[in-house]
Chains A and B, each alone.
Chain A
Amino acid sequence: MATHDIFEKNSILLAIGIVIVISIAGLIEIVPLYFIGSTIEKVNGMRPYTPLELAGRDIYVREGCYLCHSQMIRPFRDEVERYGHYSLAAESAYDHPFQWGSKRTGPDLARVGNKYSDKWHRDHMNNPRSIVPESVMPGYSFLAKTEIDASRYAAHLRALNWTAQPNGVSKNDTGAMYTKAMIANAAADMKAQAGETDSDEAEALQKRYGGKLNVRDFDGNPDKVTELDAMIAYLQMLGTLVDFKTYNAKANLR
C-alpha cells in the first residue's frame, strides 16, 4: 500500500497518472498510423478541390448533409456492388475534415459523381420529392438563390495550405496543397468553373488543377455563381478522381 499512498494523497499526481495510463492505449493505436508506409495507398489522379468544389463542400458541411449521408464505401460485397470500388484512404487526402460520416438515412455519396445529370441534382436539391416521391430528404431550394462571394476563397485556400503544412507554408510551393497561382486565381477560377466550358479562363483552370474538371453552368443560371453551382460541382466530382485502371488493388490489401 505504501507505494499507492503518493497517488491517494495528491490529486494532481493522480490526474497526471490517469492521463498517462489512458494515453498509452491512444498512442499505441494512433501514432503508428503516421509512420506505417502503407496507410495511404499510391494512386493516380488525386488533386485538391477547386475553389468552386470547395465551396460546395463547405455548404455540405454547413447544411449537415453528413448527418444523413456517408462518404465511405466499406469493403463489403454488397456495398461495392451498389456503390462501386470501396473507398481508399488516398481519396480523403484533401479532406479537412473528412466526410466519412457514420449514419446513412440516405445512400452513400462517395461515388455519386457523374452518376446523375446536373438537372437531376437541381430538381433533387430544390425538392427531393419532386423526383423521388418516397424521399425523406429535406429540400434546399435556397441554394439556387444564394450567390457565393468568390473573393473569400483565396484566404480559404491559404488556410488549407496550413493544414497540409502544419510547420508553416513553404515559400516556393513545395509540398503545398494549393500553389501560389491557385491562390491568386481563386476567385477567377471559381467563376470560370461555373461558366462556359471552353473559355480561356476555363482552360487555365484545367491546367492549374491537372485537367479533367467538370466546367459548366451547373445550376442552369449562367449569370450567377450560386451555392447550387458549388453544391452540384462538388457532388459531380465525388469519387471520380482516382484512376482505378492504374490502381493495384492486390498491392494494397489491408
Chain B
Amino acid sequence: MAHKEIDHITGTETTGHAWDGDLKELNTPLPKWWLTIFWITVVWAIGYMAYYPSWVIGDKNYEGYSKWTARADVHKALEDAQARLAPSFAKLQGASLADIRNDADLSRFATKAGKAVFGDNCVACNGTGANGVFNGSGYPSLVDKDWLWGGKLEDIIETIRVGIRSGHDDERLNTMAAYGGEDGQLTAEQIRNVAGFVLSLSGSTLEGADINKGKAVYLDDGGCNACHGDEGKGGTADVPGAPNLTDSIWLFGKGNVVSSITHGRNAVMPAWDKRLTPAQIKAVAVYVHSRGGGQ
C-alpha cells in the first residue's frame, strides 16, 4: 500500500500491483450509499443482540433487554383471548337451551365458537357439514333426527364428553356382538332371516329370507329386542345406544345388514374431555344441536 499511484485517466487510486509489466488494477472505493447501509446493518445487529435473547454465557443465554420469548408471547395471546371470551363462555355454561335461543348474541356466540371447535376436531368423522360422510359409512350424520345416544342438548354434551366405546371411565357403552361365525349364536340361515325381518321394518326386502322365521329369531333366539326394542325402534332409556331399525337410515349401510349381524359392529367415538374445555364442549354441542336434528 505504500505507493499511492493515481491513474491519470480516471483519477482513481490503483492497487499498486502490475501484471505483465504494465497491467494495473483500479482500487475504486465502495459507493457511499452501499457503505452507509453496511454500517447501519452492523449497528442494527448490535442493537438487535442487545434487545433480543442472543449470546450464550456459560450454560445460560443472555435474555436480552426485552426478555422476549416466543412462548411467553403465545401464553399472553391465549390469556388475552381467554380474558376476552371468558364472560361469554361463562354465560354459555350457565345457560339452558331456552336461554340460548332467547338471546341472539349468546346463540350467535355459541354457534360460532362451536363451529370452530367442530371444524378443528369433528369434521374428520362427521363431515364438514356435520351430515356424516355418506349413508352407511359407519360415521353418523348429525343433521337428521336419528340419534343413538339422545338428541337433547344434555345428551349431546355427554356423548362428546365421554365418547362411545372410547375407553373413558364413563364411556357410552352398548355392544352389537357378532352373531355369525363358527361359535356364533345364530346360523347363517337364521341371520339371513332376521336380516330380512329387520329390512322389512322399513319396507325393504331381502332375497331368500323368511320374514316370519326372522321375527322369531329377532324376539327369541337372537334376543335382538333387548337392545333394539320389540318394535325395532332402537334403544330405550334403560338400554340406549342401539340404532332404530325401522327408519331406513343405515349407519353401516342397507346392503351390509347381514354383515352387521354376522360380524357385529362396535364403532368408536373418542372422548373429548381431555382435549376440550367444558365450555368448548357445550359450544360445539349447541352447534350440532342447531344443525337440524336437535331435540
Chain A residues engaging chain B, CB cutoff 8 angstroms: 1, 32, 35-38, 75-77, 80-82, 84, 86, 114-120, 123-124, 130-134, 249-250, 252-254
Instruction: Choose among A80, A86, A116 the residue that contacts B125 (Cβ–Cβ < 8 A).
Output: A116
Query: Do the beta carbons of A116 and B71 come within 8 Å of each other?
Result: no
Helix, strand, loop or mixed for chain A's interface? loop
**Contact A75–B270 (Cβ < 8 Å):** no
A-B contacts besides A35-B58, A37-B60, A120-B125, 18 pairs, CB < 8 Å: A1-B1, A38-B60, A77-B77, A80-B78, A81-B78, A81-B116, A86-B71, A115-B275, A117-B267, A117-B268, A117-B270, A119-B267, A123-B138, A131-B125, A134-B128, A249-B71, A253-B69, A253-B75
Query: Bound complex: CA of A84 vs CA of B270, how far in Å?
Result: 16
- Determine the distance from Cα of A84 to Cα of B15 in the docked complex, in whole angstroms: 63
Contact of B78 among A38, A77, A118, A131 (CB under 8 A): A77
CB proximity of B225 to chain A, nearest CB, Å: 27
Identify which of A114, A118, A131, A250 contacts B139 (C-beta below 8 A).
Answer: A131
Q: A82-B120, A116-B270, A119-B138 are in contact. Are A32 and B69 (CB under 8 A)?
A: no
Quick one: CB contact mask for B253-278 with A, threshold 8 Å, 1 for yes?
A: 00000000000000111100001000
- The verdict on B28 contacting chain A, using a C-beta distance below 8 Å, is no
Chain A residues positioned under 8 Å from B125 (CB to CB): 116-117, 120, 131
Closest 6 CB pairs of A and B: A117-B268, A32-B56, A75-B74, A77-B77, A37-B59, A253-B69
B72, B73, B124, B267 pick with most chain A CB within 10 angstroms: B124
Between-chain CB contacts (< 8 Å), 6 pairs = A75-B71, A76-B77, A81-B78, A116-B124, A119-B267, A119-B268
Residues of A within 8 A of B78 (CB): 77, 80-81
Q: Contact at B269–A117, with CB atoms within 8 Å?
A: yes
Instruction: Tell me how many residue pairs across A and B have CB atoms closer than 8 Å.
Output: 81
Tell me whether A80 and B74 are in contact (CB under 8 A).
Answer: yes
Q: Which residues of chain B are within 8 angstroms of A35 by Cβ–Cβ distance?
A: 56, 58-59
Residues of A within 8 A of B268 (CB): 117-119
Chain A residue with Cβ nearest B139? A131
Give bound CA distance, A117 to B125, whole Å: 9
**Which B residues between 113 and 160 are near A, CB-CB below 8 angstroms?**
116, 120-121, 124-125, 128, 133, 137-139
Interface residues of B in 100-122 (CB under 8 A from A): 116, 120-121
Residues of chain B within 8 A of A77, CB atoms compared: 74, 77-78, 81
How far apart sit A118 and B128, CA to CA, in the bound complex (Å)?
A: 20
Give the residue of B61, B71, B77, B124 whose beta carbon is less than 8 angstroms from that of A252. Answer: B71
| Given A1-B17, A133-B133, A36:B269 Cβ within 8 A | no
A38 cross-chain contacts in B, Cβ below 8 A: 59-61
Which residue of chain A lies nearest to B166 when distances are taken between CB atoms in the complex?
A117
CB-CB under 8 A from A120, the residues of chain B are: 124-125, 139
A88 vs chain B, min Cβ distance (A): 10
B71-95 residues with Cβ-Cβ distance < 8 A to A are: 71-75, 77-78, 81
**How far apart are B63's CB and chain A's nearest CB, in angstroms?**
10
A131 with B137, Cβ < 8 A, contacts A36-B56, A254-B71 known? yes
